[in-house]
Structure 1
């Protein structure tokens, strides 16, 4: 991409589905985004258009510039002020709509959207292992799998539920949960969602935690 997208194209990018990257716009707008490498046309009917990784980066950079709360690495907000969905990673402040039936519907919809993204972008159409988007958004992907399965995230004090955090390893996240049975339940959920999971202990405190990475095959 040699030139930034136009204002009209930016509106199309910003309105993309936050999980699948599905786009809606005029034929000309979508074709222009494809030409710039920011979108692709799915080969199967109904031939919808979706953001490429470069398109996702443009969208995320624009959201960050507009003041979307992101926090330190691995500590995103439950949902932004403009309604963009984000899975709860644990430890964030409660925000309106973060609990209750509406949130449950939102989480389930995001998980179904992620499964569809797997189907469309994994070479063999598999939905039982993570896709490229998940590998580039490890913390959010793992948190979505946990929240969609009904696990409870930790509150602002960091206690009483799971916490998903980035690690020095580029392909792994850490999942902390003070209750041993709940920690093992988190491991089972992530394994079903296509992650390799191992249980470890902190060297000094001996607290147990999970190290999870997306399965490739």
Structure 2
């Protein structure tokens, strides 16, 4: 059985970027994570280090038998506002900084994972996290998400269609603004009408080229 990460390694893993998985630390710390298969060194400059799938699992797992002298890990995994959540994070300067940091991290992930270094179209992570990726683009652009007890604001939801999410926003002007934001973020967007309710909504898919 693989030994769990040391306390020092857990601190590095827990501090990894919530979107890209990029880790920072001393050369010795990063080399140790690579040796244990918890991180890898990207072959392209600036040769940053990123968590492997095993590293992500280690970050999500509960630490085992922590020392009383160790402070608990701060914070949780970042999640963009999809609209209508019951336990949504509060808005404010701290949340704004967190969202902007996650968006910049996502752009960096695009640059690092696309062969041509392009940042204007979604990457593989976004294609496997459609709702979160679309919601992050909207929240980072300043669109207000719907609150649990309100009809106003955007709501991003999964659909039966492959690689497509639905975005609903009761205000027509704000719905079109959401469409413009997603298109600028590299998504293909179409506006449709519910046959029975006549409510307008968006279908958005990550653009491939």
TM category (shorter chain) comes to 0.7 to 0.9
The residue aligned with 1:22 is: 22
Aligned-pair distance for 1:107? 1.4
Q: Is the 8 A contact 1:202 1:209 kept in 2?
A: yes
What are the Cα deviations for residues 30-86 of structure 1, in whole angstroms up to 9, with x where unaligned? 445445654321223442211245644x257537xxxxxxxxxxxxxxxxx824322
SS at match of 2:201: strand
SS at match of 1:203: coil
The residue aligned with 2:61 is: 62
| CA gap 1:83/1:60 in 2 versus in 1, 3 angstroms | closer
Mapped to 2, the partners of 1:174 and 1:36 lie a distance apart of 40
SS at match of 1:40: strand
What are the Cα deviations for residues 168-201 of structure 1, in whole angstroms up to 9, with x where unaligned? 2231111111111111110110000000111122
SS at match of 2:115: coil
The residue aligned with 2:179 is: 187
1:34-45 to 2 correspondences below 5 Å: 34=34, 38-45=38-45
TM-score (norm: length of structure 1): 0.78
| CA gap 1:202/1:32 in 2 versus in 1, 3 angstroms | farther
The residue aligned with 2:5 is: 7
Q: Paired residue for 2:136, among 144, 148, 158?
A: 144
SS at match of 2:134: helix
TM-score (norm: length of structure 2): 0.81
SS at match of 2:117: coil
The residue aligned with 1:91 is: 84
Q: Is the 8 A contact 1:90 1:158 kept in 2?
A: no
The residue aligned with 1:171 is: 163
Mapped to 2, the partners of 1:136 and 1:198 lie a distance apart of 20
Structure 1 unaligned blocks of 5 or more: 64-80
Q: Is the 8 A contact 2:10 2:59 kept in 1?
A: no
Q: Which structure would you say has the larger Rg?
A: 2
CA RMSD of aligned residues (A): 2.5
Structure 1 consecutive aligned stretches of length 4 or more whose deviation exceeds 6 Å:
none
Aligned-pair distance for 1:6? 2.0
Aligned-pair distance for 1:92? 1.2
